[in-house]
Amino acid sequence: MLYPGAALRGGGAGGPAAAVMIGRMADTSETAASLRVARVTALSSEDRLHLLTYLLAKYPDSFSGMLDEALSTISPGRAPSGDEG
C-alpha cells in the first residue's frame, strides 16, 4: 500500500509534482475528516451509542484501545483542545 510521502523517498519519480500531489491528498484527507466529524455531530445520542457499539463489535482488538486513549484525553462534558497530548 502506498502511503503519503512514499513518492518522495528512494530516489524514484518525485520532485515538485509529487509534493503537490501529496499536499492535495492531505487537503482531501482533512476535508473528509471534517465531513465525518459533522456527520457524527449530527447524530442523536442514541445513534452515537449505536455507532460506538458497532465499532467496538467490528474492531474489538483495535477500537477499544483507541476509544480508551481518546476518553483519557478529555474530561466528561468538554471537547479536547488542540494543545493537550
What is the per-residue pLDDT across 22-70, written as a single tens digit (0 to 9) for each?
556 566 888 888 999 999 999 999 999 999 999 999 999 999 899 889 8
CA dihedral 57, 39, 71, 3 (to 10 degrees): 80
pLDDT(10) > 60: no
Q: How far apart are CA 74 and CA 57, in angstroms?
A: 23
Task: Tell me if 35 sits within 8 A of 43, measured CB to CB.
Answer: no
Q: How far apart are CA 85 and CA 78, in angstroms?
A: 15
pLDDT(85) > 60: no
Q: Is the pTM of this model over 0.85?
A: no
pLDDT-derived band at 14, boundaries 50, 70, 90: low
pLDDT(8) > 60: no
pLDDT-derived band at 11, boundaries 50, 70, 90: very low
- Residue 7 to residues 27, 28, 66, Cα–Cα distance (Å): 17, 17, 29
Q: Which residues contact 22 (CB under 8 A, 6 or more apart)?
A: 4, 5, 7, 8
